[in-house]
Amino acid sequence: MMKMMSNSKIRNFSLFMWLCVFITVTVTVTEAEKKKDELYFKPFNVTYDHRALIIDGHRRFLISAGIHYPRATPEMWPDLIAKSKEGGADVIETYVFWNGHEPLRGQYNFEGRYDLVKFAKLVGSSGLYFFLRIGPYACAEWNFGGFPVWLRDIPGIEFRTDNAPFKEEMKRFVSKVVNLMREEKLFSWQGGPIILLQIENEYGNIESSYGNGGKQYVKWAARMALSLGAGVPWVMCRQQDAPPDIIDTCNAYYCDGFKPNSNHKPIIWTENWDGWYAQWGERLPHRPVEDLAFAVARFFQRGGSFVNYYMFFGGTNFGRTAGGPLQITSYDYDAPIDEYGQLSEPKWGHLKDLHVALKLCEPALVAADSPKYIKLGPKQEAHVYYASVHPEGFNLSLSEYPSTCSAFLANIDEQKAANVTFRGQIYTIPPWSVSILPDCRNTVFNTAKIGAQTSVKLVEFDLLLASKVLPAQQLTHHNGISQISKSWVTTKEPTSIWSKNSFTALGIWEHLNVTKDQSDYLWYSTRIFVSDDDFLFWKENGVTPKLTIDGVRDILRVFVNDELIGNVVGQWVKVIQPVQFLPGYNELILLSQTVGLQNYGAFLEKDGGGIRGSIKLTGFKNRDIDLSKSSWTYQVGLQGEFLQFYSEESDKAEWVELTPDAVPSIFTWYKTYFDAPGGTDPVALDMESMGKGQAWVNGHHIGRYWTRVSPKNGCEVCDYRGAYGSEKCLTNCGKPTQTLYHVPRSWLRESNNLLVILEETGGNPFRISTKLHSARVVCAQVSESHYPPLQNMANADFIAQQVSVNSMTPEMHLRCQDGQLISSITFASFGTPGGSCQNFSRGNCHAPSSMSIVSKECQGKRSCSIKVSNTVFGGDPCQGVVKTLFVEARCTSSSSDGFFQNSEAVSSF
């Protein structure tokens, strides 16, 4: 065609094409620039006084939700942020994880789960502020506390003290993060969401270990941070000697008594521990929401201005990111949003109500320089916030009124309720609770009275993993349910030196100095000669030779001539292991395993792993053998790791069919394919049939697994009253600490998903199954004496006492999770019912219309509300008695064909 054109036409056509290209490039660049220059807020400055952060010239009291971006997938982030905002958060908080962002020195990673910029922009686009805790030490039960392991190898380095090599590296990374945020225009003065930064982290806990070097380091860290020109305030948590321009803050279960080191700084609670972490072989912590709400209400009652929930969403320690010692893969943290991204009720709902009540108080809280204290009884007190002039910056018609008053009434008695008189009225306050009165008259919330629903999360069977490796077979289980069997293939991992990259050296080398944390595993191999005289000596004297080691961590496995003879688990525990040798040369192999590097404490760079101290063989005829000076061959990692058996592209393994009657074996790889469960419910792998190892799905490392069982004792009945600690209200006694492992939906295809398992101790992969994690049952109980719905009060009319009687009637609210509808009401009674969720029962007083009224109002809807009054239920079923409405409902996927409605829940979560 071009050959047929005239020269002029060719020139015109070429010009036209260049013009198209120019326009396309210009439009593309313009759109990219526009996106980069997008303002999430009108630019504003952030300062502070003794009372609060000052946002754009106005004091604010703020609720912050902790979410660690790498503990979720980017696909989960928008929903997590939205649920946090709906729950009352003004701010999203996160640590920055240095080892994730700089895995190799000078090589940065800000992609995928580590795309910090994307996460920050999602926060801003949601209308929320961002609190960025750069550190760069995080702790966070994260591997090595967030430090990259290569940092240990810098000559002369000492972490977190007045040490030039460390300070140089720390400044370089902190500058990298601050400059990146500035380039992306993410600071508040640029129209971005970042209002607060943190340098260091809980250093005050260990500062004394470093002497004067620690004191100098704190001053340097502050100067360095301020020199970066971020333009927003910096904090140091748990740092009583924080310099004047840095806000020192509180981390604890309770911070209502905390005071910063200057009366010019606001009271900030950077970590409100709403749960606790778990370790392999331990019980699961649970913090009652009544106590959590009490702690938050007391904090604001006594002058607090900013609280961050640690965690609001805990998430998952994917890969080998879990810290040590022995942190589990789940980082659920008993948070208001669970590991799978679903609401944990009633924790999320009760806190949401608390936050609404607190927001009603915000005009008075920020206007008053300090509260007025009133003693109401021996363990009862009130704090009153009163402002004669309504503060600016609030879009409420309260400014029409000449005064603003809010009060908190607290009963810190752990056992008894109390009747107190406040401003001429009598108030009943349950034990260990706070009542909130936004207008100093009407109680709208009490921390011990839960009106939010309870959601019962059930883990339901999907089909057992259906393999495409080999033809599927039908198996009928003892319960008569026919399910598709799994066909697995397997290959053995060598339990000896396997690589040409192994090396030999004298003495015992420290674990991390060899592995650089490229693997959990380090093999030590040496040869032991046993003479005939030694054998005769043992036989005649009944002596057994022993391997003794001064200290090992986290796991040590002992092999003699390729046979596993002993396992040791612990933190720098002494080893005395009987061994059996053959005459002549024997191969002694030690396998050292880390299960998360130490994440907390002083001198982390010296902590290390593997073997510490002397190692010797005792019991020989003429002498003990000092193996500390012997020649050892070292091998890092497993063959399957370095050949990437878990990769979809890998063809290096010699897989063979696994038969159902195969004897479980140690250090074995298993592989199968499976179809993703239908629907949108979160997916988990049930690994209860396995021992210990690691798992990958479609090449994604979902984490370590271990069926280590927790102690049988220690799970007493939980009472929210009284001070909480991590040993109170424990759950899951006598069961494996973790059996279910989150597989994000975004990592799954509809079919042919590759699952690869590395099993260390022996297990049965045929019993691995996928399960769906979902809240299928919701319950609630609200009495006619309960507080009116807070959403009806969250306006100026409430303060002006211009609320209709109908709006003040208590309401019950029920809601299924996204994608579900209320399919049936399984219990409803207005009267005097009793029991607990999934075990409700009618009382002597019962309104016959209860079931029909609730079913009509709720069935077929995602959410519903019912007023709790005699009028709604056709009259008073029993006069002179306070009635309560109890309801239990069943939620079903809106796209379901009825399968889940009739499916049997196999275990509660």
Q: Residue 811: give its domain's CATH number.
A: 2.60.120.740
Same domain, 657 and 553: no
Residue predicted with more confidence, 187 or 796? 187
pLDDT digits (tens, 9 = 90+) for 266-320: 999 999 999 999 999 999 999 999 999 999 999 999 999 999 999 999 999 999 9
813 and 723 co-located in one domain: no
Give the pLDDT band (50/70/90) at residue 2.
very low
Instruction: Provide CB contacts within 8 A for 541, sequence distance 6+.
Output: none
Q: Is the pLDDT reported for residue 814 higher than 90?
A: yes
Q: Are residues 763 and 832 in the same domain?
A: no
Please state the pTM of the whole predicted model.
0.91
Residue bearing the bigger pLDDT, 311 or 663: 311
DSSP element (H, E) containing 641: helix 639-642
pLDDT of residue 84: 98
Tell me the β-bridge partners of 589: 525, 559
Rounded Cα distance, 376 and 408, in Å = 11
Q: Which of 141, 169, 271, 362 is catalytic?
A: 271
Bridge partners (DSSP) listed for residue 307: 63, 269
Task: Assess if residue 404 is contained within a domain.
Answer: no
**382 occurs within a structural domain:** no
Residue 486 in any domain: the answer is yes
Would you place residue 895 in the very low, low, confident or very high pLDDT band (cuts 50, 70, 90)?
low
Verify that 808 and 865 share a domain, yes or no. yes
Judge whether 418 lies within some domain.
Answer: no
Q: How far apart are alpha carbons 355 and 351 in whole angstroms?
A: 6
Q: Are residues 890 and 747 in the same domain?
A: no
Residue that terminates a domain, selected from 637, 656, 673: 637
Best CA proximity match to 214, nearest among 240, 177, 251, 234: 240
> Where does residue 614 rank: exposed (0-12), middle (13-18), buried (19+ CB within 10 A)?
middle
- pLDDT range class, residue 622, cuts 50, 70, 90: confident
Q: Which domain holds residue 200?
A: 46-366
- Out of 93, 102, 200, 202, which one is annotated catalytic? 202
| 270: β partners | none
- What is the rounded end-to-end Cα distance, in angstroms, of the chain? 69
Looking at the structure, tell me whether residues 485 and 499 fall in a common domain. no
Specify if 716 maps to a domain.
Answer: yes
> What are the residues facing 864 on neighbouring strands?
814
Contact between residue 575 and residue 618 where contact means Cβ atoms under 8 Å apart: no
- CATH at 52: 3.20.20.80
Q: pLDDT tens digit string along 667-696? A: 999 999 999 988 899 999 999 999 999 999
pLDDT for the residue 387: 80
Tell me how far apart the alpha carbons of residues 210 and 833 are, in angstroms, rounded to a whole number: 61
| Digit-coded pLDDT (tens) for 761-788 | 999 999 999 999 989 999 999 999 898 8
Q: What is the mean pLDDT of the chain?
A: 89
What pLDDT score does 790 carry? Answer: 84
CA 185 vs CA 181, 196, 822: distances in Å = 6, 15, 44
Residue 670 three-state SS: strand
590 with 690, same domain? no
Which range among 61-70, 623-632, 748-757, 794-803 shows the weakest confidence by mean pLDDT?
794-803
If asked whether residues 650 and 630 sit together in one domain, one would say no
- pLDDT (0 to 100) of residue 905: 33
422: in domain: no
The total number of structural domains that make up the chain? 4
Residue 732 predicted with pLDDT over 90: yes
Do both 632 and 659 map to the same domain?
no
Distances (CA, A) of 476 to 122, 306, 483, 903: 49, 58, 7, 18
- Residue 836 pLDDT more than 50? yes
* Cα atoms in the Cβ-side hemisphere of radius 13 Å centred on 447: 29
361 shares a domain with 293: yes
User: Is residue 18 over pLDDT 60?
Assistant: no
User: pLDDT tens across 371-389, in order?
Assistant: 999 999 999 999 999 986 5
Q: Which of 366, 386, 404 is the last residue of a domain?
A: 366
296 and 203 part of one domain: yes
What pLDDT, on a 0 to 100 scale, did the predictor assign at position 457?
83
Residue 394 has pLDDT above 90, yes or no: no
Which pLDDT does position 623 carry in this prediction? Answer: 87
**432 lies in a domain?**
no
Q: Does 156 lie in the same domain as 117?
A: yes
Identify whether 394 is part of a domain.
no
Q: Name the percent of the chain lying above pLDDT 90.
A: 81
Higher-pLDDT residue of 388, 334: 334
Q: Active site includes 202?
A: yes
Asked if the bond preceding 4 is cis, omega within 30° of 0, the reply is no
Average pLDDT over residues 444-467: 79
Q: Which residues contact 586 (CB under 8 A, 6 or more apart)?
A: 527, 528, 529, 530, 560, 561
CATH classification of the domain holding 736: 2.60.120.260
In total, the chain counts a number of residues equal to 909
